[in-house]
Structure 1
């Protein structure tokens, strides 16, 4: 299963549930929402649009530190391919983020796979 955490401008495909947290531009921020989700959800892979690296290095650096590439599978595609992938998400959590390409898809991992 996958979920998407998005900025306030990402289109939500028809049929995908939207959880709209946006209260105002920047509230809550992408970083705030991703940090809380990362704390409570075990993920195995992250998917971002490759454009984030050049157009929003602050968000990219935050994601790299939150989801280190030696612990998570990283998928980087074009923004168009990213938007296409959102059609398979269980939901899109819309933040108030107003910076470009601040979007991520997280693929869930099994929460008890590390237990003996």
Structure 2
């Protein structure tokens, strides 16, 4: 059994298959999930698990070279935006562009988060 890092077997298995520039979405409970993109749904009630809890756990085990977030977050969820800016190289696009970009993701992890624009697309980096 894994002792550290991501212990969710489904997430760990998917992340092990990521290569440089592959896209990973961490989503709130309302983001549409394209039918062709695998989705690991961690939600079990509104707000649980939180977006931040899942993002922090993923970033312990995932090298992200860029993060794409909706520019609307600046007006509707400043606290979450500030937290992501401290952890990630955030790049802004419209929420509609973010939803379109999610169609190119290799995996979506759905949280129970119910605050506005709590979504991020992480671009996989390299560890060397």
TM-score of the pair, normalised by structure 1: 0.89
Deviations 1:56-97 (A, max 9, x none): 111101101122xxxx3x321110000000000001100000
Relative CO higher for 1 or 2, CA cutoff 8 Å, sep ≥ 6?
1
- Aligned residue for 1:93? 109
Q: What is the root-mean-square deviation of aligned Cα atoms in Å?
A: 0.8
- Which 5+ residue runs of structure 2 have no aligned equivalent? 1-21
- Which 5+ residue runs of structure 1 have no aligned equivalent? none
Distance 1:75 1:59 in 2: 14
Q: How many residues align?
A: 107
Distance 1:29 1:44 in 2: 23
3-state SS in 2 of match to 1:14: coil
Deviations 1:32-51 (A, max 9, x none): 00001111101100000100
- Aligned residue for 1:43? 64
3-state SS in 2 of match to 1:60: helix
